[in-house]
Amino acid sequence: MNLARRTMNAPALAAVYERAWRPTLFYLASGRTTAADRRDAVTALHLEGSKKVLDIACGPGNFTKYLSSALDGDGYAIGLDYSTPMLARAVTDNAGPRVGYLRGDARRLPFADGIFDAVCCFGALYLIPDPIAATREMIRVLAPGGRIAITASHRTDNPFGHASRMVGSWSGLRVFDNDIFPTLFAEHGLVDIDQRIHRLLQYVSASRPE
């Protein structure tokens, strides 16, 4: 297991992730606040009403609960992660009437095809050993008319980008070329593909046609 994956499994990180780690590192990487990322996630996923949401690699549930608060009726959000310490924090810090958490591997989702109205994975594909398999799994469980959204690293060819790639390869974080996710989405028949670049991160969303 590489350094990045070991770090994500550490109880000490789970304890500080939502309040300190994520706000600081993601602000440095993207120039964006967690509040802005959360609001944009609700918009990108078209969340409302009785939708069923799957938040892959949910960490301590810091997005899962927020996403669930945009729902009503029979709507719910499930957060899936492999890290027991992260899930323990999720249950403690981000429980709610429309939220559930599940331990699992993003590369083999324990769900039938096409059952979620919205599927997302924020800040994690660069940690997952086979991120393309994980993205294919997200698409597989997405219902017709559903929305998918990811946040991942992206390649920047300037000195800051070169430095971040060196740190990334040392620690086990992957840096993706810009066209990987839009191309993969298009190959799987997704439409309305939108990609936004913020410093070292890319935000990509799309729809599965009805």
Is residue 33 within 8 Å of residue 27, measured between CB atoms?
Answer: yes
Q: Cβ of residue 21: shortest distance to ligand SAM, in angstroms? A: 8
CA distance 64 to 158: 34
* Between 82 and 182, CB nearer to ligand SAM: 82
The residue number whose beta carbon is nearest to ligand SAM equals: 59
Q: Identity (one letter) of the amino acid at 204? A: V
Plot region of 115 (φ>0 → left; ψ -120 to 50 → alpha; else → beta) = alpha
| Beta carbons of 169 and 141 less than 8 angstroms apart | no
Nearer to ligand SAM, 45 or 58 (CB): 58
Nearer to ligand SAM, 14 or 209 (CB): 14
CB 116 within 8 A of CB 53: yes
CB of 47 to ligand SAM, least distance (A): 16
The residue ranges that bind ligand SAM (CB under 6 A) are 8, 22, 57-59, 62-63, 81-83, 86, 105-107, 122-124, 127-128
Least spacing, CB of residue 201 vs ligand SAM, in Å: 10
Q: How far is CA 116 from CA 101, 137, 165, 194, in A?
A: 15, 12, 34, 20
> Smaller CB distance to ligand SAM: residue 125 or 190?
125
CB 179 to ligand SAM: min, Å: 23
